[in-house]
Chain A
Amino acid sequence: MRNFEDIMKEKLYGAESDYSEKLWGNIKKQIPIAKKSNARYYWMASFLVAFTSMIFMVQQYPNWKVKQQANQVTEVEALDVSKFILSPEDLASRQIYSTSHLKPTLKSPIAFDDKVLSTQAKVLDSDVPTLSSVVSNELISADVAFTNQTSLESIVLRDDFFSEKSKNTESENLEVASKAPLYTLAKISKFNVGLKIPTYEVPEKNKIKDNDVHCEVLNGRQSKYYIAARHINSYAFNSISAKNPAAEEYMSSRFTSESKKYSFSDEVALGMEYRSGLFVELGFRYDQINEKFNYLDPNARGETTVIVSDTVFSGGVSEVFTDTITTELSGVREIVNNNHFRKISVPLSVGYEFPLNKKVSIAGRTGLVLNIWSKYEGKMFDENLEVVSINDRQSSNNPFFNKLVHSVSASAYLQYQMNKRMEFLVGLDGYKNLGSASFDSNPLNQKHSSLGIFVGTKYNL
């Protein structure tokens, strides 16, 4: 016969009972649940901004084309027509030139085949002899027709050229009854919009004569100064290597105990952009690399206090008993420490900006990031695998890290022209330390690098 106690233990030790569902709700309010990091929301917001910006730009694309096409019409007006398109048929009865007393002004200069074109020019139409008018962007931009997306044909109506808005600076208003096309632009490939258009042979009689006064035609874009500000959300990578085989255990401990977290950088720079599209920038940059350091504390002490109240009913009278019990507990505790590596640097970069169309350009830049200040705070394992404060060690004769570590950086991004002054920037940015951040006597080499996305603005001065 089996022992009574054994049977009872077998039946009851693993027995289970039902409990109220609300218990977990009560418990979780009183236990050390980590708050969810804001970093993930920060990243999500950044991606959302980047994604929305891209969508916005893509949606704007047809408008760019319309405006671009309109400007091309104006450009033709002001250019040396021998180089650019005009329908030979339409040009047969017209001459287009500028006059000196109408000073060409660059209202909206457009980069086009390396030319910047005036948006104001004087037009003499042989159908309306002796009269002239100023053609401006505003007159043309909204009145361009497209036949389709891939093969564009623009027709500008004459009355639009000479509408009420368009007034000669010499106070001569033009009234034009005919709505016949003034001229027609040639077909433009979808992929060449704003970049290149084919040229036609212009009849000799329509070419501008030497004694005509031309609008000033500028080469390329104008040089300009700007201020750019960027915020970069990045993920830092840590490269640790042992200087000698004896340090491999230390390297392994450091490698397993440290992990990188979300990091960020902020940068403000003064830039100069040349007509060719080249630009240089000089500024200030703040980088913060966040790092998690995990280790086990074998001598952890904890204290727990429990207050218990009981109400006892006896003989119709209730009495409350309260106990406060404080207990010290010892054991091994996993400690998570947040380290911060902060740097201030002077980035010096060069880049090139290439216009995709009137509003959007693509740019790339690279350069040196000269570190002028840095601080590493937190804890880490030292060579004896003891947990030490980085701060304490930095102020000793044998610090962990060199004070300054220079880097190289690179970015690729899109620029969207929001208005005449402001541009919105979005793209990728990365940097890599040129040398080891660790001090000479440290048995490990340590290099940081990062990759992230950035958003920013550019203010044209």
Chain B
Amino acid sequence: MNLKTRQEYDLVRSCLQGSESAFKALFDMFAPTMMAVCNRYAVDKCEAEDWMQEGFIKAFNNLGSFKFEGSFEGWLRRIMVNTALKHLNKPSRKLEQTELDQFLDTGYDGDILSTLAVEEIIKVVNELPEGYKTVFSLNVIEGYNHKEISEKLGITESTSRSQLVKAKKALKNKLHQIMKLAV
């Protein structure tokens, strides 16, 4: 067990005893990353903050179910993603189906892409239609496979695949334009 994990476990144990400072320390440690997670699924910052608040409350109230196996961040991240998906699955929030034809299938230069600032990439991802953004984030960033995504979003696996393809094309297209400007 590495030092970071041990520190996380110690904090979780202190939280289980009700220590306010431990709760605050865990929050401060993970809130910036979890905010970025929520941002990838929400339409705006306000909504992302609401979801993150809900996710932290859920996590802190159920710390007893954390089994001290693996990373606490991973456990917390899954809660955040599930919280976001729960909201996206509401009848009032239908995932947007955007047509592929809008985007040209462009190539990209991996080396130039690597040099792009994170903020620029986040901005581009956030500009994607909601359906693309969700499937892309779940698959590429969080590592869920299409079967899991289909279950989580209530869509078919083929829809998940096609949304991902469209998302990647749209992203490449937008990034290509940025890279061209940069060059």
Interface residues in chain A, defined as those with a beta carbon under 8 Å from any beta carbon in chain B: 1-5, 7-9, 11-20, 23-24, 26-28, 30-35, 300, 302, 304, 306, 308, 310, 312, 319, 321, 323, 325, 329-334, 336
Contacts and interface: CB of A to CB of B under 8 A. Distances in A.
B147 interface: no
Given A5-B140, A330-B65, A27 B36 contact: no
Contacts of A30: 57, 61
A3 B168 CA distance: 12
30 contacts: A2-B110, A2-B114, A4-B110, A4-B168, A4-B172, A8-B141, A11-B116, A12-B36, A12-B40, A15-B122, A16-B33, A17-B36, A17-B48, A19-B48, A23-B31, A24-B27, A27-B60, A28-B20, A28-B23, A31-B57, A33-B23, A34-B18, A302-B65, A304-B61, A310-B90, A323-B90, A331-B66, A332-B64, A332-B68, A333-B64
Contacts of A2: 110-111, 114
User: Could you tell me the dominant secondary structure of chain B's interface residues?
Assistant: helix
A27 B68 CA distance: 23
Interface of B: 13, 16-20, 23-24, 27, 31-33, 35-36, 39-40, 45, 48-49, 52-54, 56-58, 60-62, 64-68, 86-87, 90-93, 108-111, 113-114, 116, 118, 121-122, 125, 137, 140-141, 168, 171-172
Contacts of A306: 54, 58
Nearest to A323: B90
Contact of B118 (A15, A23, A332): A15
Contacts of B125: 12
B54 A308 contact: yes
B61 A23 contact: no
A32 B15 CA distance: 8
A302 B114 CA distance: 44
Listed from nearest, the 10 A-B pairs whose CB atoms lie closest are A34-B18, A331-B65, A333-B64, A16-B32, A17-B35, A31-B60, A329-B65, A2-B110, A17-B36, A15-B36
Contacts of B122: 12, 15, 17
B61 A1 contact: no
A27 B92 contact: no
Given A4-B168, A24-B24, A308-B87, A31 B61 contact: yes
B61 A8 contact: no
A32 B91 contact: no
B32 A19 contact: yes
A256 to B, nearest CB: 14
Given A7-B113, A19-B31, 19 more contacts: A5-B140, A9-B140, A12-B121, A12-B141, A14-B33, A19-B35, A27-B57, A30-B61, A31-B56, A32-B61, A34-B17, A34-B20, A304-B62, A308-B86, A319-B92, A323-B90, A325-B86, A331-B65, A331-B67
B80 to A, nearest CB: 12
A33 B48 CA distance: 24
A155 B110 CA distance: 105
Contacts of A34: 17-20
A14 B71 CA distance: 14
Given A12-B122, A18-B32, A304-B62, A334 B53 contact: no
Contact of B17 (A15, A17, A28, A334): A334
Nearest to A1: B110
Contact of A300 (B39, B64, B172): B64
Contacts of A334: 13, 16-17, 64
A330 B45 CA distance: 32
